[in-house]
């Protein structure tokens, strides 16, 4: 994925991992998306252009790729609240495809927290065209995984970082 937009100075880049399909720096088939925190708006923001190779129909982004992007963007909104506990997982994801999402077009993805609990949260997200039209909206329930799952993920913590 690429971006041609200037990133406002108040947006804080979030760390990325090594091999995550969405953000992984070293994943050869990954999307390599960079996520930003806009603390003023209390949202995750992603300016991006979806390349034609991720199309479903000609000129239209594949719905599965859109779901993947929104799953990550909405869930990452929790990282603004829990910097030391970034590993939450999606328990439920619901999408509404409102309009076709074009490839090769500047888009903005946003994600935010709608309700926070101790071990779960409700999050939401949207993909927007340059004129603000929402093409896809998502709501999700994310949960903190059990400790036995997290113990294996800890070894990846050293690879989470912000790339310059």
What number does CATH give the domain 35-152? 3.10.129.10
User: Domain residue spans in the chain?
Assistant: 35-152
DSSP 7-64: PPTTPEEPPB-SS-TTT-TT-TTS-----EEETTTTEEEEEEE--GGGBSSTTBB-HH
95-137 pLDDT, tens digit each: 999 999 999 999 999 999 999 998 899 999 999 999 999 999 9
What number of H helices and E strands is found in the chain?
Answer: 2, 7
Spatial CA neighbour of 85 closest among 116, 54, 41? 116
Among the ranges given (33-42, 95-104, 154-163), the one the predictor scored with the smallest mean pLDDT: 154-163
pLDDT above 60 (res 4): no
Q: How many CA atoms lie within 13 A of 21 on its CB side?
A: 7
pLDDT band at 62 (very low <50, low <70, confident <90, very high): very high
Which pTM does this prediction carry? Answer: 0.92
């Amino acid at each position: 994925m690429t971006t041609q937009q200037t990133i406002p100075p108040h947006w804080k880049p979030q760390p990325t991992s090594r091999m995550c399909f969405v953000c992984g720096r070293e994943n050869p088939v990954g999307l390599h998306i960079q996520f930003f925190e806009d603390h003023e708006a209390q949202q995750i923001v992603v300016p991006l252009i979806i390349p034609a190779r991720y199309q479903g129909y000609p000129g239209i982004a594949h719905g599965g790729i859109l779901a993947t992007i929104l799953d990550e963007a909405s869930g990452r909104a929790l990282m603004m609240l829990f910097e030391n506990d970034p590993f939450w997982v999606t328990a439920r994801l619901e999408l509404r495809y409102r309009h076709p999402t074009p490839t090769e077009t500047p888009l903005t993805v946003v994600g935010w927290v709608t309700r926070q609990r101790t071990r779960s949260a409700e999050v939401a997200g949207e993909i927007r065209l340059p004129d603000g039209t929402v093409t896809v909206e998502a709501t999700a329930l994310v949960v903190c995984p059990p400790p036995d799952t997290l113990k294996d993920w800890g070894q990846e913590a050293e690879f989470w970082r912000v790339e310059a």
